[in-house]
Amino acid sequence: MTTKFTALAVFLLCFMPAAKIEHTQASLMSTKKTKQEAKWLTHIEHDTERSFPSLSADKDEKKIKPIKLSTNTEKKEKDKPAKTNEKKETYTHSEKELLSRLVHAEAKGESYKGKVAVASVVLNRTEKKGFPDTIKGVIYQKNAFEPVSNGSINQKPDKDSIAATEEALSSENRETDAVFFYNPKTASDDWIRSRKIVERIGRHVFAI
């Protein structure tokens, strides 16, 4: 049967035009070539998958594990005090009393704000070059305050003067940036009058 089929095929080819035979051969070659190319591309794809592993988000998430702090470490972090640039000062009872006596003597009859401002001037001087760095040193500096000269600094301070002193010592922001103050109606020193005035509170002017 196979021999008869082969003979029939040869017989038909003999009567088939040459152009059609060439076309048939070309189709067969093309089919073989396409199958070879497909096989080759499939081979490349398999190699690529082996060479370059998948970087899917799911796989990455499984591989990357968050670092967990131990309970002790977390507690230490919470217990750490917050950093601050605030300057904390401690004052003795004698310093507070001395300053309140100066405030009482210098700002008697002035408003509460005026009393706080006078105390602030003394504190500003402790931080300024050219002045002593303690409250006692500033107050007793030669010719600095008239109440020291006339003895009125030894008078007992009133409640407002004590409260104003406490506020000036504990406040983060000073009532004034001035380092001088005077009453323009009574001041006789020409030098003090030459200082730049930054504000007026009651009968006093405050200068730098």
Is-contact 116 162, C-beta < 8 A? no
Contacting residues for 182 by C-beta, under 8 A, at least 6 apart: 189, 192, 193, 204, 205, 207
Number of Cβ within 10 Å of residue 145's Cβ equals 20
Axis-axis angle for helices 93-106, 159-170 (nearest 10): 120
In terms of Cα–Cα distance, which of 181, 76, 185 is closest to 119?
181
Tokens found for residue 175: 């009532």
Contacting residues for 118 by C-beta, under 8 A, at least 6 apart: 102, 103, 106, 107, 110, 164, 181, 204
Element spanning 204, H or E: strand 204-207
In terms of Cα–Cα distance, which of 99, 94, 106, 96 is closest to 122?
99
Helix and strand numbers, DSSP H then E, in the chain: 10, 3
More confidently predicted of 88 and 181: 181
Tokens found for residue 199: 């504000």
Which CATH superfamily does the domain covering 93-175 fall into? Cell wall hydrolase SleB, domain 1 (1.10.10.2520)
The type of residue at 113 is: K
Residue keyed to tokens 């030098």: 191
Q: For the chain, what percent of residues have pLDDT higher than 70?
A: 57
Average pLDDT over residues 137-142: 97
DSSP 107-154: STTS-HHHHHHHHHHHHHHHTSTTS-SSHHHHHTSTTS-HHHHHSGGG
Q: What pLDDT, on a 0 to 100 scale, did the predictor assign at position 42?
A: 52
The Cα 117–Cα 133 span in angstroms is 18
Tens digit of pLDDT for each residue in 18-34?
A: 544 455 454 545 544 45
Tens digit of pLDDT for each residue in 25-76?
A: 545 455 444 555 445 545 545 554 454 444 444 444 455 555 455 555 444 4
Is-contact 103 118, C-beta < 8 A? yes
The band of 202, judged by pLDDT with boundaries at 50, 70 and 90, is: very high
Tens digit of pLDDT for each residue in 115-136?
A: 999 999 999 999 999 999 999 9
The Cα 40–Cα 95 span in angstroms is 96
